[in-house]
Amino acid sequence: MSENLMLKIIEALTGENGRRIVEILLNSQGGRSDEELAQELNLRVNDVRKLLYELSKQGFVAYIRMTKGESRWYSYYWYTDIDMLKHSINRRMNEVIRVLNERLAYEESQTFYICPNDSSRYTFDEAFENNFRCIQCGFELIEVDNSRTVQYLKKLIEVLLTIHKYR
């Protein structure tokens, strides 16, 4: 997986400033403090901290906690590397593929009904329990063909597996 593709994924998940932080950290030796990042990006320190915590939560960045001299104040130096990014993106991609496979199994195992009035969607069991009437407005439910949804999910999973295979 190229660095450019990883940065695009990070931007899609955390926004442009999240991508910019990761770019800076990839090119820095020994990491950067949140204050240094804020100054370099011309952003407020609190905004940078929020982004760093979000990036950290997703595994894209990490930090080293240090004290200066005899001070009891901690300084945090944030860092990342290509391997950390690859690992986090692969973990996230595996999770997305798992969720999509669960949704595909659900879509393939059910018959669905829809209300023509308000587009509420019901499984067969839900529709049966309500005499094939919408519980919101009372309209008669009609069976819906979800084959396009199934095909879309299959194609999406196939594309993600192909990308994942060539990482």
CATH code of residue 54: 1.10.10.10
pLDDT tens sequence across 40-98: 999 999 999 999 999 999 999 999 988 877 777 888 899 999 999 999 998 998 999 99
Q: Do 148 and 100 fall into the same domain?
A: yes
pLDDT at residue 132, rounded to an integer: 97
110 and 44 in a single domain? The answer is: no
Mean pLDDT (whole number) for 20-25: 96
Distance, in Å, from the CA atom of 163 to the CA atom of 142, rounded to the nearest integer, reads 38
Residues 75 and 93 in one domain: no
- Burial class for 20, CB neighbours closer than 10 Å (0-12, 13-18, 19+): buried
- The parent domain of residue 12 ranges over 3-80
76 shares a domain with 20: yes
Q: What percent of the chain has pLDDT over 90?
A: 78
User: Of 80, 106, 126, which residue sits at a domain end?
Assistant: 80
Q: Examine the pLDDT at 150 and tell me if it is beyond 60.
A: yes
Model pLDDT, residue 165: 67
The tens digit of pLDDT for each residue in 106-116 reads 999 999 999 99
pLDDT tier for residue 2 given thresholds of 50, 70 and 90: confident
Same domain assignment for residues 68 and 90? no
Claim to verify: residue 159 and residue 93 sit in the same structural domain: yes
Mean pLDDT score, 13-23:
95
Do 92 and 151 belong to one domain?
Answer: yes
Quick check: 16 pLDDT over 80?
yes
pLDDT at 167: 52
Same domain for 17 and 38, yes or no, is: yes
Decide which of 80, 97, 123 is a domain's last residue. 80
Ramachandran sector of residue 68 (left: φ over 0; alpha: ψ -120 to 50; beta: rest): beta
What percent of the chain has pLDDT above 70?
A: 98
Residue 4, pLDDT score: 87
Residue 166: predicted pLDDT: 54
Number of domains, the chain: 2
Together in a domain, 120 and 93 = yes
Residue 38 tokens read as: 């804020």
Which of 153, 154, 164 has the alpha carbon at shortest distance from 93?
164
Q: Alpha helix (H) ranges present in 58-166?
A: 82-109, 124-129, 147-165
Return d(Cα 155, Cα 149) in angstroms, integer: 10
Residue ending a domain, among 80, 102, 127, is 80
**Chain mean pLDDT for the chain:** 92
Same domain, 74 and 103: no
pTM of the model: 0.73
